[in-house]
Structures are given as structure tokens and as C-alpha cells.
Amino acid sequence: MIHESSHLRRRRPARLLPLTTVAASLLAVAGVPAEEHVATFEHGAHQQQFVHGAPQEPSLEWTIAAGGRIYDTWWDALDRPKPETTNPAYPTAVNDKQSGPNTWRCKECHGWDYLGAEGLYSKGSHYTGIKGVMGAAGRPGEEIAAILRDANHPYTPEMISDEEMLRVATFISLGLTDMRAFIDYETRTVKPDAGDIDRGRALFQTICAACHGFDGRAMDWGEGDDHAFVGTEASALPDEVYNKISNAHPGAAMVNLRALSEFDRISVLAYAARLPVGLDD
Ligand code: HEC
Ligand code: HEC
């Protein structure tokens, strides 16, 4: 089973599938620490600006995607220290399964689908009873940013600056999608009629495949025999992967499709959910 990204077990960069074992044994012989080689997917100095910085003249599309990455995991998005303790605003009396850094992530209280207790987090290990952010869609960014300094949101400017808060507020205001249109909430899978598979295939093969391979298995961020490929994650956690497609994975040198239409992003998700989920598929 694939679990939702905890970002606790993700400190290790993804493995380059076919080479890992070979490289590890060769390196063991040569006496070089394997980690130096496994770090293939850590971004280089030339990508620092793209991954953590901001353009001089930010487009609306860039701003929304950057805000979406803050919503996902702000410390990875912004290259800040990860909070060590549990968020004092997190309702531990309601949910004692979550603790530590994750309780500081927007998605942990409001959901990958932005619907909070009315969405996919209406039950299960992420339940808090907190409402979603969909009700704030369309409201002015400044108004939303002000909410993000209230007692429910004990973020200091050292954690997330005012300018960065405005980015995530812009994402809430203009960047949300109602996923009930293309995800089956009973099974948490992509609906069979979602998007256009041919369009999704075209986008995947010409964009995503550069890093993930044509079958989505060039990178594996699983642990041991617990593989996690694009297909694995898209079939088990489509709401999370829709966020990654739209905004990219925070802290990784990954592209995002924010400048393309919502329908295109749904199509890529639908195609990705048909890719192999395991090693032997
Ligand atoms: C520890 C849980 C928690 C985290 C983490 C959290 N929030 Fe909230 N948020 C709340 C609660 C509680 C409310 C108030 C809900 C209510 O009024 O019923 C709220 C309200 C909101 C609202 C207003 C919704 C509305 O309809 O008025 C927005 C927007 C919002 N949060 C965005 C964010 C963003 C963006 C982040 C991350 C930077 C974030 N939240 C992180 C708990 C959280
Ligand atoms: C320029 C390289 C690049 C491209 C292009 C790219 N990705 Fe990624 N992607 C990455 C890297 C790097 C990671 C981080 C892997 C890790 O966890 O270390 C990643 C992570 C992911 C993840 C896992 C996120 C998680 O929850 O851990 C998914 C899903 C994903 N990519 C899907 C896609 C899709 C779909 C596309 C096409 C729209 C795409 N990627 C395009 C580099 C890329």
C-alpha cells in the first residue's frame, strides 16, 4: 500500500530504479558512500532559483503554483527549517494520530481536495472536523492572507513571510479545483470518464517522461519493496497527484502544468492513473 506523503520518510531523494542496486554494490566495493550517488534528484545550484526563488516579474500562473506548493509543504517549498513540534492549533483532542511537522501543513487540516471535513478527510487518519478552504475561493488575496495570521494559523513571518502568504492566498482565491467532478469519493480513484486520455498521454510523454520515464517508473520514492511510481501514487492518491501536476512537488526540480488548462491537468492525472503501479506490471 502507498501512504500519503508524510515528508518524514521523504528525506531520502528518489532512487534511480535500474541503477540503484548495481551502483550501491559497486560503490560499496569502491568504498564511496552510496548516498552521494543516490542524490541524483537533489536539485543543483542552477535550479535553486526555480525551486525556491521567485521570478522578478511573477506571472499569475507562477504565483498560484508557488502558493500551491506552500499549501502542500511550506518549509520544503521555501527552504526553511522544518518545525519540530506539533502545531498548537492542531486539534489533537479530535485526532491523536497526527503529530509533529505534518500538523503545520495546510493540507493536513484542509485536505488535498480543499474540502476539509466535507471531502476525503471526512473520515480516516487525517480527520480533524475542520472545514475546507473552498468557501474562501474568489475572495481578495489580502483578505485571505489576513486570516492566515489568526489564532488558527500560528505561522510567524520567519516561517512564511507576508509576500509568501499572499502567494498562498492567491492560490486559495484563484487556484482551487473542485475534484468531485473527476474523482470518485467512494473509492478515491479517478473517474473512468475523467479528462481525455489521448491528451493526457501526449502531455505525459512530452513533459513528465523527461524525468519520470515513459511508464512513470524512472523515479521511485518508495522504501524497500514498497515502490512508489507516478502510476502508484496517481491510482491511490489522485487528489494529491492533481496538486503535484498543477503546482509541482515542493523542494524538487519538477515542472508544473499550472499554465495549462484545468482540463489538461485532469487529463494528465487520468493518464497517470493508468500507468504501472508496481515493478512487475
Ligand atoms: C492546524 C489546522 C490548520 C492548519 C494547518 C491550517 N489551517 Fe486554515 N483554518 C483552520 C481552522 C480551524 C479554520 C477556521 C475554520 C472555521 O471557521 O470553521 C481555518 C480557516 C481557514 C480559511 C478560511 C476558510 C473560510 O471559509 O473562511 C482559510 C482560507 C485557510 N484556513 C487557509 C489555510 C492555509 C492557506 C493554511 C496553510 C498556510 C492553513 N489554512 C493551515 C485550521 C488550520
Ligand atoms: C524536470 C524533472 C521533472 C519533470 C518534467 C516532472 N517531474 Fe515529477 N518529480 C520530479 C522530482 C525531482 C520529484 C521528487 C522525487 C522525490 O521524491 O525525491 C518528482 C516527484 C513527483 C511525484 C511524487 C510527489 C510525491 O508525492 O512525492 C509525482 C506524482 C510526480 N512527480 C508526477 C509528475 C508528473 C505527472 C509530471 C508531468 C506533469 C512530472 N512529475 C514532471 C521531477 C520531475
- Cβ–ligand 1 distance for 171 under 6 Å, the answer no
Q: How big is the CA angle at 36 (ends 32 and 40), to the nearest 5 degrees?
A: 140
Mapping DSSP to helix (H, G, I), strand (E, B) and coil, where does residue 226 land? strand
| One domain for residues 65 and 171 | yes
Residue 43 inside a domain? The answer is: no
Closest ligand relative to 72 C-alpha? 1
2 in any annotated domain: no
- Residue ranges, the chain, pLDDT below 70: 1-41
pLDDT score recorded for residue 89: 97
Instruction: Determine whether the shortest distance from the Cβ of 245 to ligand 2 is under 6 A.
Output: yes
My answer on whether 92 and 154 are in the same domain is: yes
How do residues 34-88 score in pLDDT, each as one tens digit? 333 334 568 889 999 999 999 999 999 999 999 999 999 999 999 999 999 999 9
* Count of domains observed in the chain: 2
Cα distance between residue 16 and residue 23, in whole Å: 10
Distance 221 CA to ligand 2 centre (A): 10
CB of 208 sitting under 6 A from ligand 2:
yes
Angle between helices 60-78 and 238-247 (to 10 degrees): 110
Please work out whether the CB of residue 253 comes within 6 Å of at least one atom of ligand 2: yes
Q: How many CB atoms lie within 10 A of CB 240?
A: 21
Residue 9 in domain: no
Calculate how far, in angstroms, residue 156's C-alpha sits from the geometric centre of ligand 1. Answer: 15
User: If you measure from the C-alpha of residue 253 to the centroid of ligand 2, how many angstroms do you get, rounded to a whole number?
Assistant: 8
Q: How many CA atoms within 13 Å lie on the side-chain side of 41?
A: 22
Residue 28 lies in a domain: no
- pLDDT, residue 166, reads 98
Distance CA 239, CA 160 (A): 25
Ligand 2 neighbourhood includes 64 CB (under 6 angstroms): no
Give residue 36's pLDDT.
37
41 Cα: distance to centroid of ligand 2 (angstroms): 10
Q: Which of 145, 176, 207 is the last residue of a domain?
A: 176
Ligand 2, atom 7, residue with closest C-alpha: 254
Whether residue 20 lies inside any domain: the answer is no
Predicted pLDDT of residue 9: 40
Q: Are residues 145 and 252 in the same domain?
A: no
Report the CATH number that the domain containing residue 251 is assigned in CATH.
1.10.760
Residue identifier of the C-alpha nearest atom 9 of ligand 2? 254
Closest ligand 2 atom to Cα of 12: 18
Look at residues 141, 176, 211 and tell me which one is the last residue of a structural domain: 176
Check pocket membership of 252 for ligand 2, CB cut-off 6 A.
yes
Claim to verify: residue 211 and residue 265 sit in the same structural domain? yes
Structural domain boundaries enclosing 162: 57-176
pTM strictly above 0.85: yes
